[in-house]
Amino acid sequence: MTAIESPDLRSQRLKDGLIVTFLDRGLGNSAYIVDPGDGRYVVVDPPRDPSPFLEYGVRTGRRAAYTIETHLHADFISGSRELSAEGALVLAPRAAGIEFPHQGFDDGDEVDLGGLILRAIATPGHTPEHLSYVILDGTQPIALFSGGALLSGSVARTDLIAPGETETLARSLWRSLRERILELPDDLPVFPTHGTGDTFCSASASSSTTPTTIGREKTSNPLLAASNEDEFVKLLTAGYGTYPRYFNRLRDVNRRGPTLYGSRPPPPAHLSIERVDELIAEGAAVIDARPIADYAAGHIPGSISIELRPAFATWLGWIVEDDRPLVFVLSDDADRSELVRAALKVGYENLAGELDGGLKAWEASGRSVGRTSLVGAGNLPSSPGSIVDVRQTAEFLADGVPESINIELGELEERTSELPGDRLLLMCGHGQRAMTAASLLERSGRTDVSVFGGSPGQLSDAMPASLETDS
């Protein structure tokens, strides 16, 4: 029986205790608390911010005894070191080579959870060191934490380590699934770490963040329908798209151990306009996290629009170099804590601060202000120019506007030479990614760009009337 406690927090009964799901909708990942009902709890694959897990302990009067890692994560900074500082013992794959205090686990290693047993199962594939963890009541499996080995409707990709290891890891994953995971009971609940949303660890967009069962995946997971290892490898690797650049460095950060900030990292400092001028001259990136309509109406020239939303961390990590100081332009009502946590969870530490007074102060100082055309279905120009869709290729193939060009946002700066020379109308799903693209192009010197602030369907519906008017 499952009780929904909030949109992002779900709990499922576990013998005398609970399994509680903590969902990060932006990254499309889930972390879990295993509460066996003996006054302790276990956290599985926590992201960097420890506060939800510590608050659980305060609310229930329990203590975090263990924090468990299934593998070295590439898409977020782990929170296990933070929880370790609060007294939890880190359990992690021995083969990961983690450099901060922890207990290394190998295949078959166990820990007692007050009458339940948590056992490690070697499941290499998504990463070489990957472990899944099964909870046993006596000899009976009652839950599996699969990390990236098995997802709901998919598996996690095997190309995040190195190009030369992709096929080898895919074959390892086939064996992990066939010899270890799919041998478990069909009715066994499975709790994966990776899912969908804006995650790029899943091998397909058809996966989800919801728990599943072994039997459900056997009958419905398209990758498990492969009749042999070669077919599985072909199906798996054919589905890979691009992924954010920051993936290439976070495994090493998680191996070394991230800097500790606690549950309340400091808010961004307030920066004078003069200090912002200095930072820009020193190479800082100005990130405008306001809603895209505000950015369109006026912004600091050269700033990058990344609206503060669940996907903020993904696009910050993809677009901006991690070693540059970051200066933020924020709305008065922006959640500063959310901003800092989003930056930290993908490894951005050099947060210089926010412009004191925001864009109003910048304008009042007499400095120049940039503006970007933001249009909708109701005011689409009769000659909008070349349409450039900056969504992922799979999204574009699903419902791209006819005659539009697809260049993914993450590749835009490297592919500007492929853009038409006439006026550009940039689009995505809602306008946020398109505005980021516009800000990058404007920063490079283009002034002939506008942004469509709606869906592909809305643009398609608006285009015939627009073209008729033009004729």
Q: Residue 350: how many CA atoms within 13 Å on its side-chain side?
A: 15
Q: Where in the chain is the domain with CATH 3.60.15.10?
A: 2-256
Average pLDDT of the segment spanning 162-188: 97
Please tell me the class of the 2-256 domain: alpha beta
Question: Which part of the chain has CATH 3.40.250.10?
Answer: 270-364, 373-470
pLDDT in tens, 224-267: 999 999 999 999 999 898 999 999 999 999 999 999 999 999 99
What's the token pair of residue 76? Answer: 């977020």
Q: How far apart are CA 146 and CA 159, in angstroms?
A: 18
What ranges in 78-136 are assigned the alpha helix state H? 80-85
If one counts every other C-beta atom within 10 angstroms of the C-beta of residue 273, the result is: 15
Q: Given the structure tokens 């540059």, which residue do they identify?
A: 324
Tokens for 77?
Answer: 């900074």
Per the CB < 8 A criterion, the answer to whether 117 and 135 are in contact is yes
Assign 203 a pLDDT band (cuts: 50, 70, 90).
low
Q: State pTM to two decimals.
A: 0.91
Q: Which CATH number fits domain 373-470: 3.40.50.300, 3.40.50.740, 3.30.540.10, 3.40.250.10?
A: 3.40.250.10
Distances (CA, A) of 305 to 90, 145, 403: 38, 37, 26
370-427 pLDDT tens trace: 999 999 999 998 888 999 999 999 999 999 999 899 999 999 999 999 999 889 999 9
Q: Count other Cβ atoms within 10 Å, centred on residue 183.
A: 9
Please report which confidence band the pLDDT of residue 469 belongs to, taking 50, 70 and 90 as the band edges.
very low
Q: Using CA atoms, how far apart are residues 31 and 22, in angstroms rounded to an integer?
A: 5
Domain spanning 270-364, CATH class: alpha beta
